[in-house]
């Protein structure tokens, strides 16, 4: 933190510290400071979002290209957007389905391609590994674990036959792989949440503490 | 009530207090925690380091202010690395709340540190709604999707953007994200437009990224604060993430202690009930 900061910067730091401590106070019990901060967050977010979309989408992508550059074809997506508001009038709400149909069709097409091309094929290819790796025994072992893990997990999600005998054993092995994956996710999640806490405590300790030191 | 029963009913606020004290302790008594370098962090560092000086790259700020403890140190150290190699950096955000202003603040601060000029060495495109459409649109024309930058300056007036028309003009994309946008940088931009993509993600998102890394769809990965600390160490400039690793290690030890204690209590209590 700099040696000397302005009054405005002090005010910003104190406001942030107040909101952080108000939100943390919920850990003790629900209270009016927590509710106050929560409502400020919800209200500010909504207002900021509306302003941002208005400027970056409505003005930049619709109004300016239409009236400054003569792209009058943009009236079509503009109208489709306006039709969405028909949902607010029960009698005319069916009109919004035209826009929804466009959005659903478009989204399905885009996501289908990106899912198959970007997720399904590359992930399948990457599980087609050689078990006799030229990089040594440990790589062969990793490849074997990968193949067994993929097959046993897929079998766990095969529900057309009762999980008995060899199928049941493989499915149970699949459960072990899933549990290990959950464990890894949980470990990372703990690390992530603690990191967020560290970030806020660091702010309180270094910046708010620094501001306190400068004032008093 | 014996010890094991008593800890089963302990008020959770005592645990919160212990966690808070554990986070605070390394700030009062500074301690150095060794940071090991993972192969995926090294891969990302080397991918950026091996780019020719002056390369044009994209850095995304796809994260909310709530996760800046993990993601901002990644953006800062990556930006320092890029500017130290005189790279031209185009930044954008697919996150409406906070993303564009974080990008503006971080790029301005680091650019000042390295004496870089806005419009020539770096440009902040800002935010545009609908990230899937944005990612597809940038492949044909960045200017069509972002007619102006974050401050409202038309892109055609910025010297850097006269040399960056679309993805083909970029050598590398580093997506720093705390959400699903990184999936689409991989599945759309890398898979369909063949641009190398590296990722810096929050710890919550990181496990999912390993399958992309193994498949070669990602060129390097930073996972959470630890990933950021690794990059800082590789760049030989330890900062916020490295400083946070002391607290991280102590809290992890505390949590492991609680997990062991809780399980011990559970099994001892269960055995007593069986008897």
**How many CA atoms does the CB half-sphere of A183 hold within 13 Å?**
7
B272 CB contacts (<8 Å, ≥6 apart)?
A: none
Task: Determine what percent of chain B falls in helix, strand and coil, rounding each to the nearest 5.
Answer: 60, 15, 30
Backbone angles phi, psi at B66, to 5 degrees: -65, -20
Question: Are B203 and A192 within 8 A, CB to CB?
Answer: yes
The pLDDT value given to residue A3: 66
Q: How far is CA A188 from the centre of its chain?
A: 16
What pLDDT is attached to residue B117? 95
Rounded to the nearest 5°, which phi and psi values hold at A150? -65, -50
Whole-number Å distance between alpha carbons of B113 and A55: 31
Q: Which residues of chain B make contact with A124, given a CB cutoff of 8 A?
A: none
Between chains, do A194 and B23 touch, taking CB under 8 Å as contact?
Answer: yes
Rounded Cα–Cα distance for residues B60 and A52 (Å)? 18
Radius of gyration of chain B (CA): 22
Pairs across A and B, CB distance < 8 A: 137
Nearest CA-CA partner of B125 in B105, B141, B104:
B104
Q: How far A165 CA lies from chain B's nearest CA (Å)?
A: 30
Higher pLDDT, B262 or A36: A36
Using an 8 Å CB-CB cutoff, list chain A residues near B64. Answer: none
Rounded Cα distance, B221 and B38, in Å:
9
Residue of A nearest to B145 (CA): A61
Alpha-carbon distance A153 to A178, whole Å?
A: 7
A49, A192, A200, A206, best to mutate vs chain B, most B CBs in 10 Å: A192
Residues of chain A positioned with their CB less than 8 A from the CB of B126: 56
CA–CA distance, A198 with B70 (Å, rounded to integer): 9
CA distance B224 to chain A (A): 6
Tell me the shortest Cα–Cα distance from B163 to chain A, in angstroms.
22
* A140 — pLDDT class (breaks 50, 70, 90): confident
CA of B139, closest CA in chain A: separation in Å?
14
The pLDDT, as a whole number, for residue B83 is 97
pLDDT at residue A1 in the model: 63
What is the nearest CA distance from A133 to chain B, expressed in angstroms?
A: 15
Cβ of B69 and A202 within 8 Å?
yes
Asked if A192 is an interface residue toward chain B (Cβ–Cβ < 8 A), one would say: yes
DSSP 8-state symbol, B55 = -
Which strands form B172-177's sheet, in the order they lie side by side? B122-127, B88-93, B56-62, B172-177, B197-201, B221-223
The four Cα atoms A162, A167, A170, A176 give a dihedral, to 10 degrees, of: 10
CB nearest A198 (choices: B23, B190, B216): B23
Pairwise CA distance, residues B170 & B244, whole Å: 33
Name which of A55-59, A193-197, B4-8, B258-262 the model is least confident about: B4-8
pLDDT, residue A2, reads: 64
Contact B89, B79 (CB under 8 A): yes
Sign of the CA dihedral A168, A174, A175, A176?
Answer: positive
Angle B21-B73-B234 from CA coordinates, rounded to 5°: 105
Q: Does A64 touch chain B (CB under 8 A)?
A: yes
What pLDDT, on the 0 to 100 scale, is given for residue A79?
Answer: 93
Please check whether residue B78 is in contact with residue B231, taking contact to mean a CB–CB distance below 8 angstroms: yes
Residues B96/B100/B106/B108 CA torsion (nearest 10 deg)? -170
pLDDT score at B158: 95
**Per-residue pLDDT tens digits for A6-15:** 899 999 999 9
Q: Quick count: other Cβ atoms within 10 Å of Cβ A3?
A: 6
Alpha-carbon torsion, ordered A152, A157, A163, A168, to 10 deg: 10
Chain B contact present for A52, CB below 8 A: yes
Q: pLDDT tens digit string along A93-132?
A: 999 999 999 999 988 988 888 889 888 999 988 888 777 7
End-to-end CA distance of chain B: 17
Please tell me the distance in Å from B117's CA to the nearest CA on chain A.
24
Cross-chain residue pair B27–A111, CB shorter than 8 Å: no
Q: Quick check: B19 and B254 in contact, CB under 8 A?
A: yes
* B68:A52 CB<8 A: no
Task: Please say whether the beta carbons of B27 and A201 come within 8 A.
Answer: yes
Rounded CA separation B96/A48 (Å) = 8
Q: Which residue of A has its CA nearest to B249?
A: A191
Tokens 């710890």, residue? B203
The beta-carbon neighbor of A198 closest among B69, B147, B148 is: B69
Distance, CA of A207 to CA of B30 (rounded, Å): 17
CB contact under 8 A, B129 and A196: no
Q: Answer whether A215 touches B (CB < 8 Å).
A: no
Rg (CA), chain A: 28
Burial of A164 (0-12, 13-18, 19+ CB in 10 A): exposed
Query: A59 — contact with chain B (CB < 8 Å)?
Result: no
- pLDDT for residue A71 is more than 70: yes
Which residue in chain A has the smallest CA separation from B154?
A: A60
Q: What is residue A61's predicted lDDT score, i.e. its pLDDT?
A: 86
DSSP string, A17-35: HHHHHHHHGGGT---HHHH
State the smallest CA–CA distance between residue B275 and chain A in angstroms.
30
What are the residue ranges in chain B where pLDDT is below 50? none
Facing B69 at nearest CB: one of A111, A122, A196: A196
- Average pLDDT, integer, range A80-94: 91
CB contact at 8 A, B45 and B240? no
Would you state the pLDDT for residue B4? 77
pLDDT for res A4: 77
Tell me, yes or no, if A31 comes closer than 8 A to chain B by beta carbon.
no
CA A93 from chain center: how many Å? 30
A67 touches chain B (CB under 8 A): no
Residue B40 dihedral angles phi and psi, to the nearest 5°: -70, -35
């Amino acid at each position: 933190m700099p040696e000397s900061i302005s009054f405005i910067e002090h005010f910003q730091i104190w406001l942030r510290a107040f909101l952080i401590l108000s939100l943390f106070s919920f850990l003790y019990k629900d209270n009016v400071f927590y509710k106050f901060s929560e409502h400020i967050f919800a209200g500010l977010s909504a207002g900021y979002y509306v302003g941002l979309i208005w400027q970056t989408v409505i003005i930049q992508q619709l109004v300016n290209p239409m009236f400054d550059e003569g792209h009058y074809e943009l009236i079509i997506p503009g109208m489709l957007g306006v039709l969405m508001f028909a949902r607010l009038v029960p009698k005319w709400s069916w009109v919004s389905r035209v826009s929804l149909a466009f959005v659903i069709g478009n989204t399905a097409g885009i996501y289908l391609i990106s899912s198959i091309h970007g997720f399904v094929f590359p992930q399948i290819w990457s599980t087609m590994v050689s078990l006799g790796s030229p990089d040594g025994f440990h790589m062969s072992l990793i490849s074997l674990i990968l193949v067994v893990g993929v097959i046993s997990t897929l079998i766990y999600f095969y529900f057309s036959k009762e999980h008995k005998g060899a199928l049941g054993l493989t499915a149970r092995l699949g459960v072990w792989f899933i549990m290990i994956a959950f464990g890894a996710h949980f470990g990372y999640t703990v690390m992530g949440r603690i990191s967020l806490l560290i970030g806020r405590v660091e702010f309180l300790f270094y910046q708010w503490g620094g501001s306190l030191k400068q004032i008093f | 009530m014996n010890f094991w029963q008593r800890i089963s009913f302990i008020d959770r606020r005592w645990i919160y207090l212990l966690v808070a004290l554990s986070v605070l302790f390394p700030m009062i008594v500074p301690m150095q925690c060794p940071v090991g370098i993972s192969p995926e962090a090294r891969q990302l560092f080397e991918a950026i380091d091996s780019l020719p000086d002056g390369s044009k790259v994209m850095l995304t700020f796809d994260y909310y202010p709530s996760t800046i403890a993990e993601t901002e140190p990644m953006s800062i150290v990556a930006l320092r690395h890029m500017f130290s190699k005189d790279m031209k950096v185009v930044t954008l955000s697919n996150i409406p709340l906070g993303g564009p202003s974080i990008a503006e603040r971080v790029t301005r601060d680091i650019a000042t540190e390295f004496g870089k000029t806005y419009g020539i060495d770096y440009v902040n495109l800002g935010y545009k709604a609908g990230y899937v459409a944005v990612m597809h649109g940038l492949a044909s024309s960045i200017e069509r999707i972002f007619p102006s930058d974050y401050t409202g300056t038309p892109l055609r007036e910025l010297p850097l953007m006269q040399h960056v028309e679309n993805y083909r003009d970029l050598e590398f994309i580093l997506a720093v994200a705390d959400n699903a946008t990184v999936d689409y940088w991989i599945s759309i931009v890398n898979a369909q437009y063949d641009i190398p993509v590296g990722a810096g993600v929050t710890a919550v998102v990181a496990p999912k990224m390993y399958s992309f890394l193994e498949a070669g769809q990602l060129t390097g990965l930073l996972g959470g604060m630890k990933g950021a600390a690794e990059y800082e160490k590789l760049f030989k400039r330890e900062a916020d993430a490295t400083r946070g690793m002391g607290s991280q290690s102590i809290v992890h030890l505390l949590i492991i202690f609680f997990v062991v204690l809780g399980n011990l209590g559970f099994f001892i209590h269960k055995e007593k009930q069986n008897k």
